[in-house]
Structure 1
Amino acid sequence: MINKIGLDLYGGDNAPESTIQGAIFALKNGILKNSELYIIGNLEDKTVFQGHENVHFIEAENTVTNETKPTQVIRLKNSSIYKGCEMLRTGDLDAFVSAGNTGALLSAGTFIAGRLEGIKRPALALALPGKNNKPRILVDAGANSEVKAEHFYDFAREGIAYAKFMDIKNPRVGILNIGTEEEKGTSTVRDAAEILKEKEDIDYVGFVEAREIFGNNFDVLLTDGFTGNNILKTIEGTAYYILDELRSTVNKGGLLTKIGALLMKKSLYSLRSKIDYRQYGGTFFLGVNGHLVKAHGSSDSEAISNAIYVAQKASSENLVSKITL
């Protein structure tokens, strides 16, 4: 089977350079073996891809910016995001990767590529690091700032599919709340819990507090997109703050401190890699009719290459088909 992977040339803080270099890296390292790469944008110098017969070019404009409202992208029919999602809808692409405007990408995915049958709310599913090197899946990580209780069932099915894609068997589902007691939280999360309790296809384990995000008592964590995105950015900020403070402490320390840091260097690099978004490359807008991959806005070439990898892997395993209806 030949996978057709689309790549948005634009979007992101480092585009188009990071996009081009990420694509070249993926091609040279066999990530796109048995795949066709469709670069969507206006690439004037196509010679950088000379010798790669599986690369195709789709002309599109760079008209979606961070200021573009989600509803506007539907009218920007020559934009790279619109064309990528349109190709998903028609089956001309199996997956589409973009580091562009999150809201615009979700809007295009929902209204141009279309929703899966039985799904009311597509969501952004994200893999977080967890204990025992086992990822935790966060849904929604930023797509839907306001949700209803019934949408948590969609999020659960999307999160379970992604968890299985990440080799987690029999995923357990929890809802983020301010406490584990059933009477805690907003009416939305309490109603959502009652809905999930009745679903035989969901292994619902109850409420989960934020301090247990990296724990072992769940695999998929559900919340609204506003909360989920703030959790993600808080984790990133806290992690990098601790690493910076540790680096500063070592630099100011004496000889024994520096020797100790040198002995721990391998372990510290391992810790850093666990919290590095580039390792995961991209996250999925699940519930969309196709594999829509959102790369981090500040993606460099390594992150773009990894986003291409997860798009290719999702296409090969047909991740979308694993979302139960």
Structure 2
Amino acid sequence: MTRILVVDDHEDNVELLRARLAARGYEIETARDGLEALERVHARAPDLILLDVMMPKLDGIEVVRRLKGNPELPFIPIIMQTALETTEDKVEGLDAGADDYITKPIDFAELEARVKSLLRIKALQEELATANAALRRMSQTDGLTGIDNRRHIEERLTEMFEHSARLNEPLAVVMCDVDHFKSVNDTLGHQAGDAVLRQVADVLRHTAREIDRVGRYGGEEFIVLLPGANLDDAMAFAERVRERVAGRAFAYDGGEVRRTLSAGAAAWPHPEIRHQEALVHAADQALYVAKETGRNRVVAYDSPTFRAHVRPEAADGAAAAAR
């Protein structure tokens, strides 16, 4: 039921408005001054407010300013009511943020029409907000796996890196790749491949902490951002993921298939990593070494294993790219 908050310091006005509006099927809540009105709105936001201008403690103009200036509140239509009929008074209320104005004595047919009009606007606002939220999710989400897409995960990485640099807190990145994934598509079909990717994404999501971000970087490659984590933390996380992937069968329509996962980890601060792109590049280089040294393993950037299996010129190139 649509809820209307009637704010007026005159009891007779309140009871009359309550009776008329309740007869039209609205649920009515009341407040006798501006401060009480603010308390009621913050406790439970109404669908519309019918607000008197002249009140003790806090007048209607100030109530409107505070409500419309609070970004945490949803859109609440406000109709101001007053015996003042000058243009200046109406302009002041509308400038404060009121959505409509009605003068006393109130014409109830006019009031009902204004209430219905503003409630239609509120419904349209809510529909638009829902649609925009859905579009925002679509623009940020990988359609197959439901995790962050590459563009959004890169935006989050920029935010996290700037935060870490500002507070001198560590930040780690893990790059993962499904081993021999192409053969799944080639022998079992793309639907089976899609099922594997969705389930690998689930493993990553369920292994990650709430503050971590999991994204699909491209194809069968995934990226995980680990704020506040050092290289040892990232290696431990990647190893848990590797074990869980290796220990399960991936179901698809028609059977099951097993696959393993390789991962590379890198962390900031590191003398060769100066920016977020370098951090991703370092983790990607470590992933390359994991693939080249047999797959189904985790390699850390700049570790002895990494240095032993990267050609000197490649290692130098990786360091140069990191800088």
TM-score calculated relative to the size of structure 1: 0.27
Greater helix fraction, Structure 1 or Structure 2:
2
Which has the higher relative contact order, 1 or 2, with Cα contacts under 8 A spaced 6 or more apart? 1
Q: Normalising by structure 2, what TM-score? A: 0.27
Which is greater in Rg? 2
